[in-house]
Amino acid sequence: MKVRDSFVTNSSSASFIVYKKHITPLQTDMLLNHILWSRIQGWDEFYNESTEQWNLVKNDDDVMEFSTYMDNFDLEEFAIKIGLSKNAYRMEKD
């Protein structure tokens, strides 16, 4: 059991790590611009006016790492929709 001794909010944090060796250049662009691509594709299940964009916190030769405090945009479902295989990413939620 977790015991917190400070202010607790309703927000949650999550990170999403993508292994570049498993994705195409198009998938890379779609992940980096996930809000825009959702609008372009008409994927309303991912985008709405209150959707929070994920922040890119790391982008090197091997991985891209995104983080968010409010995971309103379902980046994992988006990854599946754009054809990422399960071994191409890892999702961690707090």
**pLDDT value at 5 more than 70:** no
Residue ranges covered by each domain of the chain: 23-83
Class of residue 31 by CB neighbours under 10 A (exposed 0-12, middle 13-18, buried 19+)? buried
38-60: pLDDT as tens digits? 989 988 877 776 677 889 999 99
Would you call 19 helix, strand, or coil by DSSP? strand
Could you tell me where the DSSP H helices lie in 14-93? 25-32, 34-41, 75-81
Predicted pLDDT at 49: 66
Q: What is the per-residue pLDDT for 21? A: 97
pLDDT for residue 33: 93
Give the model's pLDDT for residue 3. 44
Which comes out higher in pLDDT, residue 93 or 28? Answer: 28
Tell me the C-alpha distance between 48 and 44, whole Å: 7
The candidate with the shortest Cα–Cα distance to 44, out of 82, 78, 76, is 78
